[in-house]
């Protein structure tokens, strides 16, 4: 099994990514089977469980079980030192039939974090990962649906999945997802996932899973989409700030009046909203929710920072893994946005910023000629320092032992934030 980076095409292989978008995304389940049982070995495995619990103090972990018509959930037992009591966890898991559930594994395991950030950079939605380990002959949750799209990665063992209908088409994040008997719809033929398999479940599709003769370890990659409702909400918020008519109060004692009395003013406000709603800005404001909260992958960047004094026009730099960039311009300035940060400068550097956003790897000298060579080095250095770029290779300076000294103007242009 090869190591290396994970992305959506690798998760779906040999199924084509475009075929997935065309035939399954948001609409129907997809199973990918027939791969090597060690397909996910570089992500996480059964032998990693104890290290995860021991060295992350069991954060966001719990023991769960579906029994006698209800979910029983309990916190991990701890020792007097506040660390997980592995002996009691063994007993709960193997002796009492509890599953181990670990939320947000992407915050605790480097390889899983890298996968989630890569998916975020390509899908432009927040992505998180939960881990589930279930003993033989057990079930952790009853039939339900998720309010986010899910990729199930069967890491080890096997699990039987039963898929039903879609009680709620494309549910909202706060839609209650528990189902009473009869609400799930007609069951399909069961799906037995084995190690190396993948199952995609669109949000709203009812399902349940249980182990049979062997244990199971699976990872769920949750994709928390942005919706058109989010865009409209941002547009309405902006319209409300701009136009006082949206901020007027309902009439006193409005509940005593016939609701029909409000139809005309309601329609009038809808017409005003349709005329002034700003689609482009609303889309960007939704995108900022993703970019504002991001953080880079841990990749040894402090070591890269030590190389900055040797950066020169011949150096090769690249966007760090999992990055996504958006360039904006306004009021005589330009800015490049990326997860958790933004760097801005005068409008003259906009072509250089767009080149950087669109070019995953480049030599510093290849930046657009809107910048002199010294200015190119200053801008590249700033973006290394600010965490967007990494240094792939220092390369040879233009003149031996000559350190590039930026002009006062270039420092002002590239170092504004």
Per residue in 24-79, pLDDT tens? 999 999 999 999 999 999 999 999 999 999 887 767 899 999 998 899 999 999 99
Tell me whether residue 185 is exposed, middle or buried, using C-beta atoms within 10 angstroms of its C-beta: 0 to 12, 13 to 18, 19 or more: middle
B/e letters for 141-168, b = 16+ CB within 10 Å, e = fewer, are bebbbbbbbbbbbbbbbbbebbbbebbb
Residues ≥6 apart with Cβ < 8 Å to 177: 144, 145, 146, 147, 171
User: What residues in the chain have per-residue pLDDT under 70?
Assistant: 1-4, 58, 397-417
Give the whole-angstrom CA distance, residue 376 versus residue 352.
Answer: 9
> Against a cut of 0.85, is the pTM above it?
yes
Give the whole-angstrom CA distance, residue 362 versus residue 356.
Answer: 8
Pick left, alpha or beta for residue 358 (phi over 0 → left; psi -120 to 50 → alpha; otherwise beta): alpha
Residue 230, token pair as written in the block: 């989010």
Give the whole-angstrom CA distance, residue 11 versus residue 114.
Answer: 13
The CATH code of domain 8-223 reads: 2.60.120.650
Nearest to 224 by CA among 114, 124, 113: 124
Give the whole-angstrom CA distance, residue 63 versus residue 71.
Answer: 10
With contact defined as beta carbons under 8 Å apart, do 54 and 89 qualify?
no
CATH 2.60.120.650 residue window(s) in the chain: 8-223
For position 293, what pLDDT does the model report? 86
CATH 3.90.930.40 residue window(s) in the chain: 301-414
For position 50, what pLDDT does the model report? 94
Q: Which listed CATH number (3.40.50.720, 3.90.930.40, 3.20.20.70, 3.40.50.970) goes with 301-414?
A: 3.90.930.40
Sign of CA dihedral 105, 111, 113, 119: negative
Give the whole-angstrom CA distance, residue 96 versus residue 9.
Answer: 39
Kindly list the distances between the CA atom of residue 14 and the CA atoms of 9, 179, 290, 368, in Å, as whole numbers in the listed order.
8, 34, 29, 39
pLDDT in tens, 365-375: 999 999 999 99
With contact defined as beta carbons under 8 Å apart, do 299 and 392 qualify?
no
Output the DSSP codes for 199-258: EEE-TT--EEEE--SS-EEEEEEEE----HHHHHHHHHHHHHHH-GGGGPPPPTTGGGS-
Query: What is the percentage of the chain residues whose pLDDT exceeds 70?
Result: 94
pLDDT in tens, 119-148: 999 999 999 999 999 999 999 999 999 999
Give the whole-angstrom CA distance, residue 133 versus residue 350.
Answer: 49
Pick left, alpha or beta for residue 272 (phi over 0 → left; psi -120 to 50 → alpha; otherwise beta): alpha
């Amino acid at each position: 099994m090869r190591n290396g980076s994970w992305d959506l095409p690798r998760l779906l292989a040999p199924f084509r990514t475009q075929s997935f978008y065309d035939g399954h995304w948001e609409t129907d389940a997809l199973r990918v089977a027939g791969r090597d049982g060690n397909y996910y070995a570089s992500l996480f495995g059964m032998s990693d469980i104890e290290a995860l619990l021991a060295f992350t103090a069991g954060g966001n972990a719990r023991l769960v079980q579906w029994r006698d018509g209800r979910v029983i959930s309990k916190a991990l037992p701890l020792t007097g030192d506040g660390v997980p009591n592995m002996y009691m966890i063994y007993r709960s898991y193997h002796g009492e039939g509890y599953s181990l559930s670990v939320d947000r594994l992407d915050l605790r395991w480097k390889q899983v974090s890298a996968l989630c950030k890569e998916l975020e950079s390509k899908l432009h939605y927040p992505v998180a990962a939960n881990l589930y380990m279930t003993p033989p002959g057990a079930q952790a949750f009853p039939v339900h649906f998720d309010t986010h799209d899910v990729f199930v990665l069967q890491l080890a063992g096997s699990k039987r999945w039963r898929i039903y209908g879609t009680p709620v088409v494309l549910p909202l994040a706060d839609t209650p997802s528990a189902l009473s008997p009869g609400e799930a719809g007609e069951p399909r033929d069961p799906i037995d996932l084995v190690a190396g398999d993948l199952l995609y479940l669109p949000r709203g599709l009812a399902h349940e899973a249980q182990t049979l003769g062997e244990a199971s370890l699976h990872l769920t990659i949750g994709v928390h989409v942005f919706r058109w409702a989010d865009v409209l909400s941002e547009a309405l918020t902006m319209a409300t700030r701009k136009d006082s008519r949206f901020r007027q109060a309902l009439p006193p004692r409005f509940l005593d009046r016939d609701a029909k009395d409000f139809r005309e003013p309601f329609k009038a406000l809808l017409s005003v909203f349709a005329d002034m709603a700003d689609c482009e800005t609303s889309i960007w404001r939704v995108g900022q929710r993703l970019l504002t909260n991001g953080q880079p992958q841990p990749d040894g960047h402090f070591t890269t920072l030590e190389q900055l004094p040797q950066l020169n026009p011949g150096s090769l730099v690249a966007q760090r893994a999992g990055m996504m960039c958006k360039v904006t311009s306004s009021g005589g300035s330009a800015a490049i946005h990326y997860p958790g940060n933004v760097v801005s400068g005068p409008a003259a550097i906009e072509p250089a910023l767009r080149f950087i956003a669109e070019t995953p790897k480049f030599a510093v000298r290849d930046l657009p000629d809107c910048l002199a060579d010294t200015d190119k080095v200053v801008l590249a250095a700033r973006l290394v320092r600010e965490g967007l770029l990494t240094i792939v290779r220092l390369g040879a300076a233009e003149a031996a032992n000559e350190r590039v000294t930026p002009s006062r103007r270039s420092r002002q242009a590239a170092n504004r934030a």
